Amino acid sequence: MSRHEIRFSGFGGQGIITAGYILGKAASLFDQRHVTLIKSYGPESRGGASSAQVIISDEEIDYPRLTQPKLLVAMSQEAYAKYIGELASGGLLLIDEDLVEPCHPRDDIQVRAVPATRIAESELGRKIVANIVMLGFVAANADVASVEGIREAALSSIPKGTEELNSQALAKGYEYGNQLQSTMHKV
Amino acid sequence: MGRRRVSNNGILQGSFFMDGDTACAEGAICAGCRFFGGYPITPATEIAERMARRLPQVGGTYIQMEDEIASISAVLGASWAGTRAMTATSGPGFSLMMENLGLGIITETPCVLVNVQRGGPSTGMPTLVGQGDMMQARWGSHGPYETIALSPGSPQELFDLTIRAFNLAEKYRTPVLVMTDEAVGHMTERVVIPPLEEIEYYARRKPQVPPNGYLPYRPDPDGVPPMACAGEGYRIHVTGLTHNEKGYPDTVSVETQQKLVERLIRKIRANQDDIIELREDQVEEADVVVVAYGISARTAARPVRMAREMGLKVGLLKLVTVWPFAEERIRELAPKVEGFVVPEINMGQIAQEVERCAGGQAQTILVPHAGGGLHHPNDVLEAIKRVTSPQSTSAETSP
């Protein structure tokens, strides 16, 4: 059974839930797979820890909660500390390297890092698209949704007038991920 | 994404990645709902938000009332003005609506009330799931009556069942409850909205007689009276008091009371084959039948599959319509099975109905959950195994 469980996490305001939504939308509407998205809610979505649970499956999803996430995206130290324990053995951890210091080393997972916020701020001039840079990085590192699907889903989910900025952000993250891939072994 | 388009009349069509609450609102709009009287409450707020944005786009009206009592009152009034109307709430708001839910039932006012259930009692757990209002849906308003309640397990079903709720409300002239929950309301999933012309629309039954021959509560043979609305040239009278066919209060006649109450109940019970919708998976050959509804029916699919992989004969009976209860089907199955397993996110409500209908011919095992989360698959699996193991004891529904 192919069932991918993914958690996006960070703090409120980083666009964590938007990132989860875009990935889910890409897999659901573009790739035509079964997808559920659960967003963290309430006080959490306004500062503090924020997270989105995405399940992508080829079969109907009976249990719409994470059971064994194989992919954890962490964009804050707090989120990393909160969720690193649930990442399944053999899983992949993707972090914003300027925001997360992996202080709970595990030898049964892989870790890849991208300066998503720095790229957004210094190369694109808008810190706010760090989540989209991270999505590009996700697309390059994990086979959960097609990059074209993610691009289409992103462009149909963001405010009008920001298409170019978001396109570039996605491309930057994807390129960074691919370059990193070429310098190390594939998962 | 190239799959979505908004047609000229403002109705959506195509595939969407949307949450259950939003799907509920869009279902209502497709069903012809053009009035929402509401008061925001977690986890139903997104329905009100969506309706506030969308209703003006399709020529409808959204009013935020001062509380839930006023909300349902406005909905009843809108329906009597000839509009398809709804409200949406959660636990505490549902409690406040109970008195006028009864007014809707005795005045036979078509409308839809959505309850996105959360953990209770009282304000409980506003952001987390519960299924603790199922008996309140059945008996929450005072007096003897029958009610219709539907229970969706996904955003798509919430869309579909909201449409069905409007049609049942019109067909049987009664408030219909959509008893969903936080897990479904806040879950985002693919929702396919078909072309409007493919969506069923049951038009309100209008009087076929001239105004001087019309009695607003004289029923057709199926027990449902045609409904003239305010401003259509017919004399109408709307009261919560016991009334005769003319609509006039007759509060001291036992005969009038009996006739009215019996008809209110009969029009639902006599048509339960039309109203009750069940989904069955391998129920016929089963030794154990898991009876569930809403999100709990969805999550039960996994332990059912696990049990089958262990060689157990297990069926899944999903109550899409919870009220009226599927009494006949449970009675029919009881002598053929060893037991029923009923997972629900409360401490035992529908399980009591199953046990009542099983009548001692099969055991009923409740898998309770106090609220705030979903059943762990192993909890339901263990209950299935208890039914089939020789040490299992007789009926028990206490947690």
* Angle of the A147-155 helix axis to the A130-141 helix axis, nearest 10: 160
Specify whether the CB–CB gap between A39 and A89 falls below 8 A: no
Cβ of residue A37 closer than 8 Å to a chain B Cβ: yes
The answer to whether the CB of B66 falls within 8 A of the CB of B197 is no
Report yes or no on A122 lying in a domain: yes
Report how far apart the first and last C-alpha atoms of chain B are (Å, whole number).
48
Does some domain include residue A51? Answer: yes
> Is residue A48 included in any domain, yes or no?
yes
Are the beta carbons of B1 and A42 separated by less than 8 Å? no
Tokens representing residue B160 in the block: 């579909």
Q: Which residues in chain A have Cβ-Cβ distances shorter than 8 Å to B187?
A: 36-38, 64
Test B188 with A41 for CB contact under 8 angstroms.
Answer: no
What's the pLDDT score for residue B394?
A: 47
d(CA B157, CA B321): 12
Interface probe, candidates A41, A45, A50, A66, chain B, greatest B C-beta count within 10 A: A41
Is residue A139, in this structure, part of any structural domain at all? yes
Q: Are B120 and B147 contacting, i.e. CB atoms less than 8 angstroms apart?
A: no
Whether A129 and A138 have beta carbons less than 8 Å apart is answered as no
Chain centroid to CA B131:
12
pLDDT at A80 over 60: yes
Chain B residues within an 8 Å CB radius of A64: 183, 187, 298-299, 374
CATH number for the domain including A122? Answer: 3.40.920.10
* Partners of A55 in the β-ladder: A5, A36
User: What is the predicted pLDDT for the residue at A187?
Assistant: 45
The overall average pLDDT reported for chain A is 93
User: A175 — contact with chain B (CB < 8 Å)?
Assistant: no
What is the distance in angstroms between the Cα of B299 and the nearest Cα belonging to chain A? 5
**Residue A46: which pLDDT band, with cuts at 50, 70 and 90?**
low
Closest to B78 measured CA to CA, from B28, B50, B112: B112
Q: How many CB pairs under 8 A join A and B?
A: 61
Confirm or reject contact between B2 and chain A (CB < 8 A). yes
Q: Which two tokens stand for residue B102?
A: 């009864």
Cβ pair B89, B46 in contact under 8 A: no
Cβ distance of B190 and A65 shorter than 8 Å: no
How far B363 CA sits from the closest chain A CA (Å)? Answer: 26
β B111-119/A92-96 pair status: unpaired
Q: Tell me if A145 is assigned to some domain.
A: yes
Into how many domains does chain A fold? 1
3-state secondary structure chain B: CCCEEECCCCCEEEEEEEEHHHHHHHHHHHCCEEEEEECCCCCCHHHHHHHHHHHHHHCCEEEECCCHHHHHHHHHHHHHCCCEEEEEECHHHHHHHHHHHHHHHHCCCCEEEEEEEEECCCCCEEEEECCCCHHHHHHCCCCCCCCEEECCCCHHHHHHHHHHHHHHHHHHCCEEEEEEEHHHHCEEEEEEECCHHHCCCCCCCCCCCCHHHCCCCCCCCCCCCCCCCCCCCCCCCCCCCCECCCCCECCCCHHHHHHHHHHHHHHHHCCHHHHCCEEEECCCCCCEEEEECHHHHHHHHHHHHHHHHCCCCEEEEEECEEECCCHHHHHHHHHHCCEEEEEECCCCCHHHHHHHHHCCCCEEEEEECCCCCCCCHHHHHHHHHHHHCCCCCCCECCC
Q: Give how far A67 is from chain B: nearest CA, Å.
A: 10
Task: Count CA within 13 A, CB hemisphere, residue B172.
Answer: 29
Distances in whole angstroms, Cα of residue B220 to Cα of each of B230, B256, B265: 20, 18, 15
Instruction: Report the pLDDT value the prediction gives residue B9, as an integer from 0 to 100.
Output: 82
Q: CA-CA-CA-CA torsion for B215, B86, B167, B58, nearest 10 degrees?
A: 110
With a cut of 50, list the residues of chain B below it in pLDDT: 1-3, 392-395, 397-399
* Helix or strand holding residue A83 (H, E): helix A77-83
Q: Is residue A187 part of a domain?
A: no
Q: Looking at residue A44, what is its pLDDT?
A: 56
Rounded Cα distance between B81 and B63, Å, is: 15
Residue environment code for B204-226, b if the CB has 16+ CB neighbours within 10 A, otherwise e: bbebeeeeeebbbbebeeebbbb
- DSSP state, A88? P
CB atoms within 10 A of CB A146: 15
Residues B45, B51, B53, CA angle at the centre, nearest 5°? Answer: 105
Give the distance from residue A35's alpha carbon to the nearest chain B alpha carbon, in angstroms: 6
Q: Does A140 map to a domain?
A: yes
Judged by CB atoms closer than 8 Å, whether chains meet at A41 and B43 is answered as: yes
Interface of B with A in 264-303 (CB under 8 A): 298-299, 301-302
CA-closest candidate to residue B154, choices A5, A61, A84: A61
Q: What is the mean pLDDT of residues A115-127?
A: 97
- Chain A hits for B1, CB-CB cut-off 8 Å, are 25, 29-30, 152-153, 156
Tokens 């969308």 label which residue?
Answer: B54
Polymer length of chain B: 399
Report the distance separating Cα B333 and Cα B338, nearest Å: 10
Q: B225 — phi, psi (to 5°)? A: -80, 140
Asked if pLDDT for residue A75 goes beyond 50, the answer is yes
Residue to mutate among A31, A63, A148, A155, with most B CBs inside 10 A, is A63
Tell which of A3, A17, A28 to mutate to test the B interface (max B CBs under 10 Å): A28
**pLDDT per position as a tens digit, A145-181:** 999 999 999 999 999 999 999 999 999 999 999 998 8
**Domains defined along chain B, listed by start:** 4-198 (3.40.50.970), 278-388 (3.40.50.920)
Residue A104: per-residue pLDDT: 87
A25 and B302 within 8 Å at the Cβ level: the answer is: no
In a domain, A11, yes or no: yes
Q: Does A31 touch chain B (CB under 8 A)?
A: no
Q: What is the pLDDT, as a whole number, of residue A41?
A: 66
Q: Which domain holds residue A121?
A: 3-182
> Beta B175-181 vs B148-150: how paired, if at all?
parallel
Residue B100 to residues B93, B104, B133, B142, B313: CA-CA distances in angstroms?
12, 6, 17, 10, 45
pLDDT at B390: 62
Report yes or no: A186 at the B interface, CB cutoff 8 Å.
no
How far is residue B160 from each of residues A77, B29, B213, B294, measured CA to CA in Å? Answer: 42, 12, 38, 13
Return d(Cα B224, Cα B262) in angstroms, integer: 12
Does residue A47 register a pLDDT over 70? Answer: no
